Amino acid sequence: MAEAVFNLDQPQPGQRTLRVDVFWCRGEGEDARREQARRYADELARYAYSLRNDAEPIGSVRVRALEQRVNYQLNYSVTRNEIRYETGDPFERAWGERLLKRWPTQFFAQPIESRTTDYISLFVCGGR
Protein backbone atom coordinates (compact mmCIF):
# COMPACT_ATOMS: atom_id res chain seq x y z
CA MET A 1 0.00 0.00 0.00
CA ALA A 2 1.36 3.42 -0.94
CA GLU A 3 1.52 6.25 1.54
CA ALA A 4 1.00 9.63 -0.12
CA VAL A 5 3.37 12.28 1.20
CA PHE A 6 2.80 15.08 -1.32
CA ASN A 7 0.31 15.87 -4.09
CA LEU A 8 0.40 19.04 -6.14
CA ASP A 9 -3.01 20.62 -5.67
CA GLN A 10 -3.71 22.08 -9.07
CA PRO A 11 -1.26 21.45 -11.91
CA GLN A 12 -1.71 23.95 -14.72
CA PRO A 13 -3.53 22.62 -17.83
CA GLY A 14 -1.00 20.77 -19.96
CA GLN A 15 1.69 21.09 -17.29
CA ARG A 16 4.10 18.18 -17.14
CA THR A 17 4.61 16.96 -13.57
CA LEU A 18 6.84 14.26 -12.14
CA ARG A 19 5.61 11.35 -10.04
CA VAL A 20 8.11 10.00 -7.51
CA ASP A 21 7.84 6.79 -5.51
CA VAL A 22 10.25 6.18 -2.64
CA PHE A 23 10.46 2.43 -2.11
CA TRP A 24 11.90 0.65 0.91
CA CYS A 25 12.95 -2.97 0.67
CA ARG A 26 11.20 -5.55 2.79
CA GLY A 27 13.33 -8.04 4.69
CA GLU A 28 15.70 -8.03 7.61
CA GLY A 29 16.19 -4.44 8.83
CA GLU A 30 13.08 -3.17 7.05
CA ASP A 31 11.90 -0.95 9.91
CA ALA A 32 15.01 1.24 9.60
CA ARG A 33 14.70 1.35 5.78
CA ARG A 34 11.00 2.30 6.03
CA GLU A 35 11.81 5.19 8.38
CA GLN A 36 14.69 6.30 6.17
CA ALA A 37 12.42 6.19 3.10
CA ARG A 38 9.86 8.34 4.92
CA ARG A 39 12.54 10.88 5.81
CA TYR A 40 13.68 11.10 2.17
CA ALA A 41 10.05 11.39 1.03
CA ASP A 42 9.33 14.13 3.59
CA GLU A 43 12.41 16.06 2.48
CA LEU A 44 11.44 15.57 -1.16
CA ALA A 45 7.88 16.75 -0.39
CA ARG A 46 9.23 19.96 1.15
CA TYR A 47 11.44 20.43 -1.91
CA ALA A 48 8.49 19.74 -4.22
CA TYR A 49 6.35 22.26 -2.38
CA SER A 50 9.06 24.91 -2.79
CA LEU A 51 9.09 24.21 -6.55
CA ARG A 52 5.33 24.01 -7.04
CA ASN A 53 5.33 27.07 -9.32
CA ASP A 54 8.13 25.80 -11.58
CA ALA A 55 7.31 25.00 -15.19
CA GLU A 56 7.76 21.24 -14.61
CA PRO A 57 7.32 20.52 -10.88
CA ILE A 58 7.07 17.34 -8.87
CA GLY A 59 3.40 16.37 -8.87
CA SER A 60 3.41 13.63 -6.25
CA VAL A 61 5.61 11.77 -3.78
CA ARG A 62 4.65 8.41 -2.29
CA VAL A 63 6.31 5.90 0.04
CA ARG A 64 5.89 2.22 -0.91
CA ALA A 65 7.22 -1.15 0.17
CA LEU A 66 9.19 -3.22 -2.34
CA GLU A 67 8.18 -6.77 -1.56
CA GLN A 68 10.94 -9.37 -1.53
CA ARG A 69 9.23 -11.53 -4.17
CA VAL A 70 9.12 -8.53 -6.52
CA ASN A 71 12.70 -7.53 -5.76
CA TYR A 72 13.87 -11.03 -6.74
CA GLN A 73 12.64 -10.40 -10.28
CA LEU A 74 15.23 -9.66 -12.96
CA ASN A 75 14.24 -6.00 -13.48
CA TYR A 76 14.70 -5.16 -9.80
CA SER A 77 17.37 -6.97 -7.74
CA VAL A 78 17.92 -3.81 -5.68
CA THR A 79 20.48 -4.13 -2.87
CA ARG A 80 21.53 -0.50 -2.40
CA ASN A 81 20.02 2.98 -2.43
CA GLU A 82 19.25 3.93 -6.02
CA ILE A 83 17.50 6.56 -8.10
CA ARG A 84 16.05 5.03 -11.26
CA TYR A 85 15.02 7.20 -14.19
CA GLU A 86 14.50 6.87 -17.93
CA THR A 87 17.62 8.03 -19.77
CA GLY A 88 15.83 8.59 -23.08
CA ASP A 89 13.51 11.20 -21.63
CA PRO A 90 15.21 14.58 -21.05
CA PHE A 91 12.62 15.55 -18.41
CA GLU A 92 13.16 12.41 -16.32
CA ARG A 93 16.92 12.43 -16.84
CA ALA A 94 17.13 16.06 -15.69
CA TRP A 95 15.07 15.30 -12.58
CA GLY A 96 17.13 12.18 -11.86
CA GLU A 97 20.34 14.18 -12.05
CA ARG A 98 18.82 16.95 -9.93
CA LEU A 99 17.90 14.48 -7.18
CA LEU A 100 21.33 12.85 -7.34
CA LYS A 101 22.90 16.26 -6.78
CA ARG A 102 20.61 16.72 -3.78
CA TRP A 103 21.76 13.40 -2.26
CA PRO A 104 25.19 12.76 -3.82
CA THR A 105 26.45 10.33 -1.18
CA GLN A 106 23.18 8.62 -0.30
CA PHE A 107 22.09 7.26 -3.71
CA PHE A 108 23.54 5.64 -6.81
CA ALA A 109 22.23 6.48 -10.28
CA GLN A 110 20.51 3.55 -11.99
CA PRO A 111 19.41 4.71 -15.44
CA ILE A 112 16.81 2.42 -17.00
CA GLU A 113 15.30 1.92 -20.41
CA SER A 114 11.80 0.79 -19.47
CA ARG A 115 9.31 3.51 -20.30
CA THR A 116 7.32 4.89 -17.38
CA THR A 117 6.08 8.34 -18.33
CA ASP A 118 7.04 11.19 -15.97
CA TYR A 119 8.09 8.81 -13.20
CA ILE A 120 11.18 8.31 -11.06
CA SER A 121 11.79 5.68 -8.37
CA LEU A 122 14.01 6.01 -5.34
CA PHE A 123 14.94 2.76 -3.60
CA VAL A 124 16.08 2.62 0.01
CA CYS A 125 17.49 -0.88 0.19
CA GLY A 126 20.94 -0.54 1.68
CA GLY A 127 23.65 1.97 2.23
CA ARG A 128 25.74 3.76 -0.27
Residue 122 and residue 22 in contact, taking contact as beta carbons nearer than 8 Å? yes
How many distinct structural domains can be found in the chain? 1
Laid out side by side, the sheet with 108-112 consists of: 3-7, 58-66, 18-25, 119-124, 82-86, 108-112
In the chain, how long is the greatest CA-to-CA distance? 44
Give tens-digit pLDDT for 48-71.
888 877 878 888 999 999 999 999
Interatomic CA distance for residues 9 and 15, integer angstroms:
13
Q: How do residues 4-27 score in pLDDT, each as one tens digit?
A: 777 876 777 778 889 999 999 999
**Enclosing domain of residue 46:** 3-124
Are the beta carbons of 91 and 56 closer than 8 angstroms? yes
Cα–Cα–Cα angle for 77, 17, 35, rounded to 5 degrees: 45
pTM of the model: 0.91
